[in-house]
Chains A and B, each alone.
Chain A
């Protein structure tokens, strides 16, 4: 049962244009959301996050939008650069039984930014 879904396994975007990566979740208890970026042969690295009390968080070229009613979040990259080519993982956090936070990752979306 995938609680965090990234339905697009891949995305191709031209350099300079906007990249939009989407993520859907099913558990309304999730209260914190993160995006991680992964280059080949490296571990994922934290990119940006958003709390459920917000609907937008911006950091330079990266903006994450949260639509709680639709249980949907998206990552916007503007403008896209070739160095942004990587796999992007969406993750969501909630307190599960036992009282501790648990982070659930999606399957990832491979972004390719071409000149």
Chain B
């Protein structure tokens, strides 16, 4: 079975440009999560969806960040305009149940490494 699929794997862009990261969760999973990994803070939850509805977006750093889930098989994370401090690896994950519950194992994609110059 295919796991969580993210694209692009690598993105290099210039400050001020719009960046769109894409995610296809595992079929049948009704929770989708966007995480950001940095050296200093580890894995930070940005936002998560349940049945395509945003549940908690308190981790979204600024209004420059937005996320959508138009259907059960696709989500996007957009940064507009991008800044050098947004450089990080962005992970998408999906699960059958809410995160952190005994049945809510998260399945992560391979990540999108973003570099903003």
Query: Assuming the A-B contacts A44-B91, A45-B108, are A32 and B40 also in contact, with contact meaning beta carbons closer than 8 angstroms in the complex?
Result: no
Min C-beta distance of B30 to chain A, whole Å: 13
Distance, CA A32 to CA B103, complexed state (A): 11
Chain B 59-109 interface residues, beta-carbon cutoff 8 Å to A: 91, 93, 98-102, 104-109
Distance, CA A41 to CA B108, complexed state (A): 12
Cβ of A64 < 8 Å from any Cβ of B?
no
**Interface residues of A, Cβ cutoff 8 Å to B:** 2, 6, 32, 34, 36, 41-46, 49, 51, 89, 91-94, 96, 98, 100-108
Number of interface residues of B (CB under 8 A): 27
Q: Which of B41, B50, B111 sits near A43, CB closer than 8 Å?
A: B111
Tell whether, in the assembled complex, residue A46 and residue B106 are in contact, meaning their CB atoms are under 8 Å apart: yes
Closest to B9 in A: A41
Contact partners of A108 in chain B: CB under 8 A = 42-43
Distance, CA A92 to CA B45, complexed state (A): 13
Query: Assuming the A-B contacts A44-B91, A44-B108, are A105 and B43 also in contact, with contact meaning beta carbons closer than 8 angstroms in the complex?
Result: yes
